[in-house]
Amino acid sequence: MAKQSAQPAPISDNRRERLLAYMVIGTVGLSLVAFFAIAIGIGTGAAADDGFSRGIWPTVVILPLIALPIGFLLMIVLLVLSTIRRNREAKGK
């Protein structure tokens, strides 16, 4: 029986991918919080008599319209970078 060397696969420390992943989580998470805040605001009557046009509500209403597309683009960038890195690692073996 041949003895196999149990060398672990090299772990690449890729800060860019990790940073992009956290940015995706942050933008999508913030958008979900804004969605829930809007739903709770509607449920409690904050939307009555044009209530969403005062205070912090305009920002909360606009936030998902901006953050979700940004999160989607960041996710695509993360996917492309991850694919490029994996292809380079596969060619190196």
pLDDT in single tens digits along all 93 residues of the chain: 556 655 655 565 688 899 999 999 999 999 999 999 999 999 988 888 888 888 899 999 999 999 999 999 999 999 999 999 899 888 887
Is the overall model pTM greater than 0.95, yes or no? no
Domain boundaries along the sequence of the chain? 15-92
- Residue where the block lists tokens 């409690």: 44
Angle at 45 (CA atoms; ends 39, 46), nearest 5 degrees: 75
CB 31 within 8 A of CB 63: yes
Inter-helix orientation angle 57-92/15-44, to 10° = 150
